[in-house]
Structure 1
Amino acid sequence: VEMVEGQQMCEAKSMNWKGMCMKWRKCRQVCISQGFTDGRCKGFTRNCICIKLCFVPSN
C-alpha cells in the first residue's frame, strides 16, 4: 500500500479470518476480498488486520 501524504490508514480485524495469522499473503488476500487494500498479521495473538485509507467526510 502506498501512503499518500495527508491521508491516514485505518486498520480493522478481519471478519473472515479464522485462527492465528501466520502467512501475511493469505491474510492480504482475505482482506482484499473484504474490500480493503492490504492486510498483515499483527500483534502477540497474530490477528489478521486489514488496512485501507480512512474515510474522512468533507464539510
Structure 2
Amino acid sequence: MTWFPLSSFCLVYVNFVVYICHILCLYAEMGPTMMEEARTCKSKSQRYKGSCYSDNNCAIICEGEGFTGGKCHGFFCKCWCKRPCLD
C-alpha cells in the first residue's frame, strides 16, 4: 500500500475550509437575543462556564440570572436562557 502525502496546496485549502467553518459557527452563536416562536426570547447565559451537556443545570443557572429556563444547544454546546419577550 503506497501512501501519498497531501500537497501543500491541499493542506492550505483544508485549513482554509476548517477556518471558514469555525468562523461561521461562531457568527451563528454571537447574537445576544434571538426570537423563538415569536413570543419567547433567548440569550446566551453570562454565568454558565464551559460546554453545556445538562439542560437541567443550564435551566438552574438561567433561573439564577432571572430567566424562566434554559437549554443546551449550538455547535459548541452553550447554555441558552429563555424568557417571555418584552413587547
Q: Do both share a fold (TM > 0.5)? A: yes
Q: TM-score by structure 2 length? A: 0.56
Q: Which of 30, 35, 49 matches 2:66? A: 35
Identity across matched positions, percent: 36
The amino acid of 2:72's aligned partner reads: C
Counterpart in the other structure of 1:3: none
Counterpart in the other structure of 2:51: 20
Greater RCO, CA 8 A, separation 6+: 1
Q: How many residues align?
A: 50
Q: TM-score by structure 1 length? A: 0.81
Normalized per residue, the structure richer in helix is 2
Normalized per residue, the structure richer in strand is 1
Q: Which runs of 5+ in 1 are unaligned?
A: 1-6
